[in-house]
């Protein structure tokens, strides 16, 4: 894959011995939010995995066309005599950044680590029974039943050094939910194209090209230093690009796209993400902590949830707030994934009159003594994670006010919001969900499954349906594609009709760069800097 690039060459530190001073080239990559950690298994969040992909590598990744690309595995197959066993041939000649060889022992350790209780990726691996070594460069993964889609789940299961992890208090993933740290929180030892030089959370992360990277000669590898600079304020981030302080802005605010497109020397690329933005309810607690209604929970009543569903003008949000950078949607799915249903994706008709009638019928009348409102609640939002996230929430607050729900909005950085969501501390919240497996089952087991040690780890709603839980898990080992698609459709329809979440839109994202750099949009909003070229090279 070739990208026409021309970068501002900044002042450089002395590069590794194989790079001359004239060859040294730096990219300064600005984002609205920093990675929460460098531990590659503790935070299943886009900004974290995007950064980690520069340092660590999985067995396979997804290319810009969404197809699987061999990375630390060169071949994989299901054994012909046992459909419960996957065999992976590991790439030979791969070194960790400390010079030690990557072997099957490291792969087995990494899978075991990713399945531990503090791993945020363990839900992807619940079908695995064991991982065993055939030889130094071959492993076999045995599943509890045939799992023909296992390899699709491995694009963010990063390989770590067993010896380094055990020697540096990193044998277990960091417990980010409880704000703990380990040896991998601020340090790293991967096989990726860049080695970690320094890490200052929320300030900058500096990486330098790995001299012994296995991909040299296969990939352009023209970026010799990569500096990640989190800049939360939109105006400051764009000003840094225009002044030349940064070279790439990963997440361009929608209000700045047109201006940047007209700015000399700036290139903007836009495209749809494999990500849905939605609202979530606390449907399980007896009452809402943030509400003035006590002794009952309005969100436990499907009539209330459906009233909110039809009170949200999705088209207005995408047209006015998102400035066209999104597509309204009626359920949590995307056209990128298997199991997607255009029928389920159709949005409900905006009907505030019907919403008001439903709330009356549900027993939440307007109260003259409370400003003609029905009940109050707090809506928790990020202010630095998704495109126009805070503005989306402000629009929702206004729309809910039209049906008598007094909504107090609290916006905060993603680093605070996500742990609270995972600890099930929120009554009403905004979140976005990417689908890296490109399969609908990922949505079900992470967002709707009852919260357990391995599943439902991002289910902040307290929703629980044991009969559907069993059906969700059965999808992981259902080899009959037609039967599986029918089961997916039925489960997704039931859950959509219960309105546990209120999907808003599929997000689009825009990148901006200077000096002729073209940064294409990946469906997962990732960036692989080893692929970048400079114009004229």
Sorted by where each starts, the structural domains of the chain and their CATH numbers stand as 26-230 (3.40.190.10), 272-508 (3.10.105.10)
Chain center to CA of 122:
15
Residue 177: its pLDDT value, please?
82
**What tokens appear for 257 in the block?**
């796209």
Q: Taking every pair of C-alpha atoms in the chain, what is the biggest distance, in angstroms?
A: 75
- 281: which strand partners? 428
> How many H helices and E strands in the chain?
14, 17
pLDDT at 479: 86
Positive or negative: CA dihedral 28, 29, 32, 37? negative
218 contact partners, CB below 8 Å, separation of at least 6 = none
Of 184, 181, 223, the residue nearest 206 (C-alpha): 223
* Per-residue model confidence (pLDDT) at position 457: 94
pLDDT along the chain (537 residues), means of 10: 26 29 74 96 94 98 94 98 97 98 98 97 95 98 95 97 98 90 97 98 97 96 95 96 96 96 94 97 98 97 98 98 96 95 97 98 97 98 96 98 98 94 96 96 97 95 98 92 95 97 97 84 94 73
Phi, psi (5° rounding) for residue 524?
-95, 10
Cα 289 vs. chain centroid, distance in angstroms?
28
Would you state the pLDDT for residue 24?
55
User: Environment class of residue 22 by beta-carbon count within 10 Å: exposed (0-12), middle (13-18) or buried (19+)?
Assistant: exposed
Nearest to 515 by CA among 490, 534, 487: 534
In angstroms, how far is the first alpha carbon of the chain from the final one?
Answer: 14
Which residues, other chains included, contact 326 with Cβ-Cβ below 8 Å and sequence gap of 6+? Answer: 277, 317, 318, 387, 504, 505, 506, 507, 508
482 burial level (CB within 10 Å; 0-12, 13-18, 19+): exposed
Whole-number pLDDT of residue 5:
27
Alpha helices in 299-432 (DSSP H): 302-311, 314-316, 342-345, 352-361, 389-401, 414-422
Residues in the chain, total: 537
- pTM, two decimals, is 0.90
pLDDT at 47: 94
Which pLDDT value is given to residue 23?
Answer: 52
- In sequence order, the β-bridge partners of residue 507 are 326
Which residue in this structure is represented by tokens 């901006």?
Answer: 512
Which SS3 state, helix, strand or coil, does residue 350 take?
A: coil
Q: Which pairs count as long-range contacts for 341-346, CB under 8 Å and 24+ apart, including other chains?
A: 341/489, 341/492, 341/493, 344/489, 344/492, 344/493, 344/496
Report the pLDDT value the prediction gives residue 44, as an integer from 0 to 100: 93
Per-residue confidence (pLDDT) for residue 176, from 0 to 100: 86
pLDDT of residue 537: 59
Token pair 């903007």 in the structure block, residue: 268
């Amino acid at each position: 894959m070739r990208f026409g690039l021309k970068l501002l060459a900044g002042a450089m530190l002395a590069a590794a011995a194989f790079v001359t001073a004239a060859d040294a080239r730096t990219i300064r990559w600005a984002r609205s939010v920093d990675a929460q950690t460098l531990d590659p298994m503790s935070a299943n969040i886009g900004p974290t995995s995007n950064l980690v992909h520069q340092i660590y590598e999985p067995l396979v990744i997804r290319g810009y066309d969404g197809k699987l690309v061999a990375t630390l595995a060169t071949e994989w197959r299901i054994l012909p005599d046992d459909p419960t066993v996957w065999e992976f041939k590991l790439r030979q000649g791969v070194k960790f950044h400390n010079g030690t060889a990557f072997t099957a022992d490291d792969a087995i350790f990494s899978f075991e680590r990713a399945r531990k209780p503090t791993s945020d990726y363990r839900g992807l691996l619940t079908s695995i029974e064991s991982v065993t070594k055939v030889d130094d460069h071959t492993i076999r993964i045995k599943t509890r039943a045939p799992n023909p889609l296992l390899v699709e789940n491995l694009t963010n299961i990063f390989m770590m050094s067993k010896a380094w992890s055990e020697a540096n208090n990193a044998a277990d993933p960091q417990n980010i939910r409880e704000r703990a740290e380990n040896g991998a929180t601020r340090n790293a030892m991967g096989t990726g194209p860049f080695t970690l030089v320094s890490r200052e959370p929320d300030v900058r992360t500096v990486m330098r090209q790995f001299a012994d990277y296995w991909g040299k000669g296969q990939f352009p590898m023209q970026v010799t230093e990569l500096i990640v600079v989190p800049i939360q304020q939109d105006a400051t981030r764009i000003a840094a690009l225009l002044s030349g302080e940064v070279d790439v802005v990963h997440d361009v605010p929608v209000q700045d796209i047109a201006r940047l497109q007209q700015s000399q020397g700036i290139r903007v690329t836009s495209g749809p993400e494999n990500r849905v933005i939605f609202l979530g309810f606390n449907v399980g607690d007896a009452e809402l902590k943030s509400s003035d209604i006590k002794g009952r929970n309005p969100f436990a009543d499907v009539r209330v949830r459906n009233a909110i569903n039809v009170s949200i003008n999705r088209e207005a949000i995408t047209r006015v707030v998102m400035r066209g950078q999104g597509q309204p949607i009626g359920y949590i799915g995307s056209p990128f994934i298997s199991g997607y249903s255009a029928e389920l994706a159709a949005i409900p008709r905006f009907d505030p009159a019907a919403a008001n009638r439903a709330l009356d019928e549900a027993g939440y009348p307007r109260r003259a003594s409370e400003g003609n409102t029905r009940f109050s609640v707090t809506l928790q939002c990020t202010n630095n994670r998704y495109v126009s996230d805070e503005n989306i929430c402000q629009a929702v607050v206004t729309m809910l006010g039209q049906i008598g729900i007094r909504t107090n909005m609290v916006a905060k950085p993603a680093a605070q919001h996500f742990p609270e969501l995972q600890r099930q501390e929120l009554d009403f919240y905004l979140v976005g969900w990417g689908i890296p497996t490109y399969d609908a089952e990922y949505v079900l087991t992470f967002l709707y499954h009852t919260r357990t040690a391995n599943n439902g780890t991002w289910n902040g709603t307290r929703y629980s349906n044991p009969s559907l839980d069993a059906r969700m898990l059965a999808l992981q080992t259902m080899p009959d594609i037609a039967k599986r698609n029918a089961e997916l459709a039925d489960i997704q329809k039931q859950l959509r009709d219960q309105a546990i979440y209120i999907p808003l839109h599929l997000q689009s994202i825009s990148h901006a760069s200077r000096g002729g750099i073209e940064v294409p949009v990946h469906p997962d909003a990732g960036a692989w800097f080893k692929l970048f070229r400079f114009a004229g090279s």
